[in-house]
Structure 1
């Protein structure tokens, strides 16, 4: 029905007519009174989708295509650091009130993050509250409200690529492969002396991140820096990178 709405079509049910306004001002009328022998049927068939495990390159390099990140990422040249303005003091806020369903989600996600080593118990003087953001698939992403910490953080001015420059690189290309990193932010460690600043407070305890978390003010800049370093030999040749999205 979307194309009928786009064309501003009018359906007159009792007359079995569809009226479609044309650009020249005329009205195209489609009459529905036809012999049944001339009726046509349209069918849609779902194409069999390839499963990840059936792709040869995935089977050849299983460590590059894991189902989930099972532990801490390796040490890299880039670490996430939190440099504070002069005179900044720790800030701690009370946990936000959550609905019972989100409390269960919180408990589940905390356990998963702890099992992977992404968070650990904390006694830090810092403490941010937790909230949840609904994702497109209906599930919830746990986010930390780092606004108070962000106000005290020196901003990283690492540049992002211009979108128009990226589009210029696509000219003349026909085939594209898009790679979206799995849990991209969690693939970058937090500098050891800054881990305590990532602390957050919940109904189930006080924790801190060992990997980069959503909501931190310089997260996208630092991740862009990492991706540019990793992909530098291929940039402007056949690879385009924007934060955690890679286009080949």
Structure 2
């Protein structure tokens, strides 16, 4: 083919006769490979992305400045803070996993193909979680696989602009979920929700950053949360599944 080649981020363009292809970043390539490595169906893979993900995205500086006074008041009254452990001590509720068969050992295969760039991504997320003490090194006999994906959105800390394809560290707790008794109550369907709110004029949403970090795990359940990353095995003393 006569023409040239232009590379812009993840987009490669061939011309004179224009041909454009989209590439994938390392994390997405490895996550896609995980479907084959772990014998996952594509539906199961995307379900894992949806239900179990952790992100250490940056906060919007503009948002923080606008509501600084409110944040300071809430911190003074100890409603919010950077140390989840402080709030766990006051919270009598603990997450206890109702395990079906305690003799089962979770032994997921770690990712085979980990590039230096991916290892840096794992290290960054693990260090962020260790810093706030919501994970710790583990000696558990269990091992859940972890992978990096890019999905959702994040906010640029300097400009406040929304950035697509947020980096996430995802945990494949499928085996653990299959070995846990389910709570037998039903969630409202989309039609029920729409019927309740369909005639409203004002809608609001309240979300928690890293909402899973708000509840401590029962000591007997912690070993079941162990997950493997390139630099070792860790577990959650807080609710993570």
Unaligned stretches of 5+ residues in structure 2: 1-60, 153-163
Q: Which structure has the higher relative contact order (CA within 8 Å, separation 6+)? A: 2
TM-score normalized with structure 2 length: 0.59
Counterpart of 2:225 (choices 190, 198, 210) is 198
Counterpart of 2:116 (choices 100, 109, 115) is 100
- Using the TM superposition, give the Cα deviation of residue 178 of structure 1 relative to its aligned residue in structure 2, in angstroms: 1.8
- Counting only pairs closer than 5 Å after superposition, residues 75-224 of structure 1 correspond to structure 2 as 75=89, 76-86=91-101, 88-97=103-112, 98-136=114-152, 137-213=164-240, 216=241
CA RMSD of aligned residues (A): 2.6
CA contact (8 A) 1:130 1:202 kept: yes
Partner Cα separation in structure 2 for residue 175 and residue 58 of structure 1: 24
- Using the TM superposition, give the Cα deviation of residue 50 of structure 1 relative to its aligned residue in structure 2, in angstroms: 6.5
Partner Cα separation in structure 1 for residue 62 and residue 196 of structure 2: 29
Structure number with higher helix proportion? 2
Structure number with higher strand proportion? 2
List per-residue Cα deviations over 1:163-194 (Å, max 9, x = no partner). 33332332553223222211111212211110
Partner Cα separation in structure 1 for residue 193 and residue 122 of structure 2: 38
TM-score normalized with structure 1 length: 0.57
Partner Cα separation in structure 2 for residue 158 and residue 109 of structure 1: 34
